[in-house]
């Protein structure tokens, strides 16, 4: 029977609660009731991502995410999609540096189906994994790489910047999509060993959120997952620790067929899960989070040297996070002009910090984003899994808003002064191949992400 149980209604959690349980095989289970709508979200996080891969086999975590939809012992071919969608549900899976997740949102009366499907592929995927499915999904992933990275303007920016920001040999040096050569080199036995090592119940967290009866749900989890054996052979991931500051400006110029010159940069920031990381998030929001931000007002509205200017954050727990600057130039504007203006704004912010109005607006913006995630059953299920896998405590998801609101303006200024400086960034400059630069007419700003 399930072992262990906690229930918490944290202060500031908006009345949201979560209970935690652990099966005898090591599977952690988090349940959260929400009877507002007759739906339930199932989310399963495996503690494996691209940081767990070894040189020569990059992209295997992402490839395996696709293989998990290719059938299991009792669900053949595309059956997982067909059964969920036929029951009125939705589903998907994603891979990042630090985890792989799978999720379904179902009408409440179809919750048991989703649990059975996830348990069947956790317990019996190897019975259906063969050369045909391996080759099929290898081609799918390679085509995804072409469509999302290799054959779109600025498509390789995320890959190039992470390779600059994290040195050769670092577990975050390569992105989850993997290289074409490594995808070609992956064998069926590689995939089978990967599954045996990482797709075990004691390397996973299952959350179920929504219109559920906890006792019935837990009984279903025990029924379908309880007999799956754990696995103790998982190697510890390589350390992702690095100095807080890069120590120099790393730079690469890329000449490609892009619609406009672009300045992109990745700044090394504090690890996710720390107060300094929340402060950095607020700093980037003031500087580049939307049309009220300092960089947008300076470059797009005042100087009119850019059609888009933004600052985002890639939160990472096992390595320094990244602050992601993305500026697309206007007309024939040269990148050095943009870069000088950016450095001027960052230096001013590091010296003065945010105004009270900027601080209030940034905190409200992040609070809204958090509440939007926690307000949906799927978003809350994902956050409960995230905090359980990365930080050991799913309850932290329910108080994340409070931690953001507790940050002071001095902390925001201090983290900006320590990190948003020229000697702590990797820079990517895009120059169009054409002799006459075309304007980016719509001004859309596309930021590459870690999820594949």
Catalytic site residue from 10, 20, 33, 65: 65
Task: Check residue 14 and give its pLDDT.
Answer: 61
Task: Check residue 170 and give its pLDDT.
Answer: 96
In 3D, which of 50, 176, 141, 48 has the Cα closest to residue 100?
Answer: 48
- Tell me which long-range contacts 185-188 makes (C-beta under 8 A, separation of at least 24): 185/56, 185/57, 186/57, 186/59, 186/60, 186/63, 186/134, 186/138, 188/129, 188/130, 188/131, 188/134
Tell me the pLDDT tens digit for each residue of 392-432: 999 999 999 999 999 999 999 999 999 999 999 999 999 99
Tell me the pLDDT tens digit for each residue of 85-114: 999 999 999 999 999 999 999 999 999 999
Tell me the pLDDT tens digit for each residue of 266-312: 999 999 999 999 999 999 999 999 999 999 999 999 999 999 999 99
What are the structure tokens assigned to 127, written together?
């019975």
Task: Check residue 444 and give its pLDDT.
Answer: 35
Q: Is the dihedral of CA 158, 159, 163, 164 positive or negative?
A: negative
For the chain, give the number of residues.
Answer: 452
Q: What is the band of 237 on the pLDDT scale with cuts at 50, 70, 90?
A: confident
For this structure, is 65 an active site residue? yes
The answer on pLDDT for 374 being more than 90 is yes
- Which residues does residue 308 pair with via DSSP β-bridges, in sequence order? 328
Q: Is the distance from CB of 127 to CB of 402 less than 8 angstroms?
A: no
């Amino acid at each position: 029977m399930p072992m262990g149980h906690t229930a918490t209604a944290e202060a500031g959690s908006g009345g949201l609660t979560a209970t935690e349980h652990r099966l005898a095989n090591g599977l952690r289970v988090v349940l959260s009731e929400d009877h507002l709508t007759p739906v339930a979200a199932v989310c399963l996080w495996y503690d494996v991502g691209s940081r767990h891969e070894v040189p020569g086999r990059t992209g295997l975590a992402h490839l395996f995410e696709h293989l998990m939809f290719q059938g299991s012992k009792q669900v053949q071919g595309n059956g997982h999609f067909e059964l969920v969608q036929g029951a009125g549900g939705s589903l998907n899976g994603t891979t990042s540096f630090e985890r792989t997740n799978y999720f379904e949102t179902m009408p409440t009366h179809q919750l048991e189906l989703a649990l059975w499907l996830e348990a069947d592929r956790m317990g019996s995927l190897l019975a259906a994994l063969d050369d045909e499915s391996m080759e099929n999904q290898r081609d799918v992933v390679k085509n995804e790489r072409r469509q999302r990275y290799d054959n779109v303007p600025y498509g390789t920016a995320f890959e190039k910047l992470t390779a600059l920001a994290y040195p050769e040999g670092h577990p975050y040096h390569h992105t989850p999509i993997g290289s074409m050569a490594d995808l070609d080199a992956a064998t069926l036995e590689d995939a089978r060993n990967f599954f045996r090592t990482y797709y075990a119940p004691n390397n996973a967290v299952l959350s179920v959120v929504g219109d559920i009866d906890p006792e019935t749900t837990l009984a279903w989890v025990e029924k379908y997952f309880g007999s799956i054996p754990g696995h103790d052979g998982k190697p510890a991931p390589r350390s992702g620790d690095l100095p807080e500051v890069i120590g120099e400006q790393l730079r690469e110029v890329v000449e490609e067929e892009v619609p406009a010159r672009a300045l992109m940069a990745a700044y090394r920031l504090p690890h996710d899960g720390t107060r300094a990381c929340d402060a950095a998030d607020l700093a980037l929001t003031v500087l580049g989070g939307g049309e009220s931000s300092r960089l947008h007002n300076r470059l797009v509205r005042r100087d009119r040297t850019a059609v888009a200017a933004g600052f985002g954050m890639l939160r990472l727990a096992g390595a320094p996070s990244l602050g992601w600057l993305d500026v697309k130039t206007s007309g024939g504007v040269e990148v050095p002009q943009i870069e000088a203006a950016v450095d001027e704004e960052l230096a001013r912010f590091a010296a003065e910090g945010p105004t009270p109005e900027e601080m209030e607006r940034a905190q409200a913006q992040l609070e809204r984003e958090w509440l939007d995630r926690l307000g949906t059953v799927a978003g809350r299920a994902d956050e409960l899994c995230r905090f359980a896998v990365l930080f050991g405590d799913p309850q932290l998801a329910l108080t994340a808003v409070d931690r953001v609101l507790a940050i002071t303006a001095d902390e925001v200024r201090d983290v900006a002064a320590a990190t948003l400086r020229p000697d702590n960034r990797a820079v990517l400059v895009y120059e169009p191949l054409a002799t006459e630069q075309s304007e980016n007419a719509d001004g859309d700003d596309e930021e590459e992400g870690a999820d594949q």
